[in-house]
Chains A and B, each alone.
Chain A
Amino acid sequence: GAGVSQSPSNKVTEKGKDVELRCDPISGHTALYWYRQSLGQGLEFLIYFQGNSAPDKSGLPSDRFSAERTGGSVSTLTIQRTQQEDSAVYLCASSPQTGLNTEAFFGQGTRLTVV
């Protein structure tokens, strides 16, 4: 595809259930980011993948959150035992990262609602 694709676009889940959010980055982009955006707020960094390097997990809010990136492409963000405060839009972005500073291309996000 032409852009970053995220699925599902909307997810409603019951408190305590696990959820998986998927991100398909732009082909060839080596860097992949996950951010979280609560209503009316800025983007909160969660995790960063770059090539085969160990991911930067410094933004994950708790051990209920984890992410993986298979084959340097598709990424899955998993939230275990969801809580109501996890409700937010989860945004994925990818970047070619050919230089030190390159723009990130964002997907449309997954809106997660925990009820």
Chain B
Amino acid sequence: GESVGLHLPTLSVQEGDNSIINCAYSNSASDYFIWYKQESGKGPQFIIDIRSNMDKRQGQRVTVLLNKTVKHLSLQIAATQPGDSAVYFCAENTGGSYIPTFGRGTSLIVHP
């Protein structure tokens, strides 16, 4: 369930499970996307990025999938750990703009 006062979508998982965090974007002209992780009391930290000429990109334990047809982005975290607990934001850049636009964020809670 949601954390009182935060009004963020929340995903609760058990340690070791795979997590999928979703993001819908609105601008069909967006051509670059980044996932950020924000731990409590800290600034957002880069996780992985993807350009619009790709539909999948993998990093260490993370995979980003991009579906331009439905303007949807997802972040998959394999074997989720308690240290993955944080708020996850997707951000998009539109061609010609250097200013990333951030989504609302999803709170991931990993239970040991």
**B-binding residues in A (CB < 8 A):** 4, 31, 33, 35, 39-43, 45, 48, 50, 56, 91, 93, 95, 97, 100-101, 103-109
Contacts and interface: CB of A to CB of B under 8 A. Distances in A.
Contacts of B96: 100
Interface of B: 5-8, 31-32, 34, 36, 41-46, 49, 51, 89, 91, 93, 95-96, 98-105
Contacts of A103: 34, 46, 49
A56 B99 contact: yes
B42 A108 contact: yes
B6 A106 contact: no
Contacts of A100: 32, 95-96, 98
Contacts of A35: 102
A4 to B, nearest CB: 7
B98 A48 contact: yes
Contacts of B102: 35, 42-43, 45
Contact of A42 (B43, B89, B98): B89
Given A48-B99, A56-B99, A103-B49, A40 B43 contact: no
A11 B51 CA distance: 38
Nearest to B46: A103
Given A101-B32, A101-B51, A103-B49, A45 B43 contact: no
Given A42-B102, A45-B99, A101-B31, 20 more contacts: A39-B5, A39-B6, A40-B5, A42-B105, A43-B102, A45-B101, A45-B102, A56-B99, A91-B44, A93-B43, A100-B95, A101-B32, A101-B93, A103-B34, A103-B49, A106-B36, A106-B43, A106-B44, A106-B45, A109-B42
A97 B5 CA distance: 36
